[in-house]
Amino acid sequence: MTPEADTGDVVVIGASFGGVEALQRLVAALDPHLKAAVLVCLHVWARAESFLPHLLARAGSLPAHHPRDGDIPRQGNIYIAPPDLHLLIENGRMRLARGPKENRHRPSVDVLFRTAAQCYRSRVIGVLLTGYGADGAAGLAAIERHHGLTIVQDPGESRAPEMPESALRLLKPDYQLSLAEIGPALNTLVRKSAGKQAARRDNVRGCAEENGDAMANEVDRSYSHRDSPTGFICPDCGGALWERDEDGAKKFRCRIGHAYSPESLLDAESESVESALWSAVRSLEESAAIARRVAQLVPGGASEFEQKAEQRQREAEVIRKLIARQSPS
């Protein structure tokens, strides 16, 4: 039996903030005899212990677990990306990689969606749920380009609407559904596609041809000479960023493969600016403290050094107030 022969269709699901509750509700509605493997990417803290397999197994009737590197996705099972590891598909097998972060996340929804689209083509169904940021939009566009099906949760009922909204700005999904509608829709779509054996054999061959080096490609998706240099610096590593189009979505990538949507790049730069401002506060307050100490050691010039300390402290307070006035968004 080939690695792909037991999978049926493949459903890939991406979520971020609010995703635990959304995923529990979704899997509770899935058919216990679902003829598809379900692969899930949820943004989690890198050092967190993940209880999501236990929660999803309790919520529904399908077994849920973290895959091991090289496992074959089996129908009727839910596989969840472990913390701090990309989950991707290579030649019909699940691979785990500590590749460069995409959209400031590892695991990244875009990585899972993109490699699933390259491997399974029309056999993949992509579902994008609640979350902040833009991760998943480009991956969903890749699924659309490979003639898979796309589902986006209605942003109006999402706990965090940014991820669904980002996808809707980039593409017109096959379905825009409420969370209560997504599980039953998946059951119906998987049943309708069951039995298309000829299409599956074609897709298995395509998977081996197009996706065979997915691990190497995803771990090092570096720039090419066709990309446009931006003059911007990668917030993660300090390298130069190149601008490129990926499946109709704009991406910024550095030489080693860190990738950002325009929204995530702006978020990362905002954090860098805040970090620089706090560094300025620290430097000014240290300078004030040194000036006060020098005033104690050099009594003859105490007044001059005290004035300098007060000036540095006032400058630090100006920056502190500037940071405090920034919008939480």
Same domain, 130 and 163: yes
Is 3 among the domain residues?
Answer: no
Two structure tokens written together for 241: 């960023």
Pairing of the two strands 9-15 and 124-128: parallel
Same domain, 244 and 121: no
Same domain, 238 and 291: no
Same domain, 152 and 298: no
Same domain, 190 and 54: yes
| pLDDT per residue of the chain (329 residues) written in tens, 0 to 9 | 333 434 568 999 999 999 999 999 999 999 999 999 999 999 998 887 889 999 999 999 999 999 999 999 999 999 999 999 999 999 999 999 998 889 889 999 999 999 999 999 999 999 999 999 999 999 999 999 999 999 999 999 999 999 999 999 999 999 999 999 999 999 999 998 875 644 444 454 445 445 545 545 554 454 454 567 787 878 877 788 888 777 777 878 888 788 888 887 887 787 788 888 889 999 999 999 999 999 888 877 788 888 999 999 999 999 988 888 875 54
Strand partners, 233: 240
Question: Which residue numbers are catalytic?
Answer: 16, 43, 135
Residue 2's alpha-carbon distances to 92, 215, 279, in angstroms, are 9, 19, 56
Cα separation, 200 vs 211, in Å, equals 15
Same domain, 201 and 274: no
Of 88, 95, 15, the closest CA to residue 56 belongs to 15
pLDDT for 312 equals 92
Task: Decide which of 260, 284, 315 is a domain's last residue.
Answer: 260
User: Which tens digit of pLDDT belongs to each residue from 47-102?
Assistant: 878 899 999 999 999 999 999 999 999 999 999 999 999 999 999 999 999 988 89
Is 1 among the domain residues?
Answer: no
- Please spell the DSSP secondary structure of 38-68, one letter per residue: EEEEE---TTPPP-HHHHHHHHSSS-EEPPP
pLDDT for 239 equals 82
pLDDT for 322 equals 86
pLDDT for 214 equals 54
Same domain, 313 and 280: yes
Same domain, 105 and 197: yes
Is 170 among the domain residues?
Answer: yes
Two structure tokens written together for 100: 């460069």
User: Which tens digit of pLDDT belongs to each residue from 139-172?
Assistant: 999 999 999 999 999 999 999 999 999 999 999 9
Same domain, 237 and 201: no
Other CB atoms within 10 A of residue 294 CB: 16
Is 172 among the domain residues?
Answer: yes
Is 158 among the domain residues?
Answer: yes
Domain with 242 in it? 228-260
Domain at 41, CATH number: 3.40.50.180
Is 2 among the domain residues?
Answer: no
Same domain, 167 and 244: no
Coil vs helix vs strand at 167: helix
Same domain, 182 and 239: no
How many separate domains does the chain show?
A: 3
Task: Decide which of 243, 260, 277 is a domain's last residue.
Answer: 260
pLDDT for 226 equals 55
Task: Decide which of 167, 187, 219 is a domain's last residue.
Answer: 219
Same domain, 242 and 167: no
